[in-house]
Amino acid sequence: MFNRRAQLVFLIALLALPILFAGPAQASGHGGATKNSGSTPYVRMRALNVNILRSSGGRTVVTLEIGLYVTDANLLKRTDASIPRLQAAFGQIVQGYMVGLPTGAIPNADYLAQLLQKETDQVVGQRGAKLLLGTIIIN
């Protein structure tokens, strides 16, 4: 038991390193997103943490790493400007999905990605921003 807990703490600490080093970038006014200025039209959103209170009284924290791949330059600007709204919408969708799951059940990542992609298209206003779901951590 202790060995598994130590491994979990190590994994969380390892995943938290990029978040710790992203602090100064957040203060520069990028709205929580970073994009490469090179040839890759990738918008990386900061980790999304969703707290869930179960009916049994238990608490669950879900962490998602999400990115967006946008090839159109105008849509890339629009997507970058919509990052705060996207994060709020993603939080509501993930929370609504996870509340309906039984305790201990594994979420369907494909279905969750479909829900988030549909919301991405709706918030941005058109199709073309492809959602990339990196990691789902449930604690």
The structure's pTM equals 0.70
Please report the domains of the chain, with CATH numbers, ordered by start residue.
Answer: 31-138 (3.30.479)
Closest of 40, 39, 94 to residue 66, by C-alpha: 94
- Kindly state the average pLDDT of the residues 15-26: 54
Amino acid letter at 111?
Y
Give the model confidence (pLDDT) of 22-76 as tens digits. 544 444 445 555 544 555 688 889 999 999 887 778 888 999 999 999 999 899 9
Q: Are 85 and 32 in contact (CB under 8 A)?
A: no
pLDDT of residue 2: 56
Local confidence band at 11 (pLDDT 50, 70, 90 cut-offs): low
pLDDT of residue 26: 46
Give the model confidence (pLDDT) of 64-87 as tens digits. 999 999 999 899 999 999 999 999
**CA 76/CA 40 separation, integer angstroms:** 11
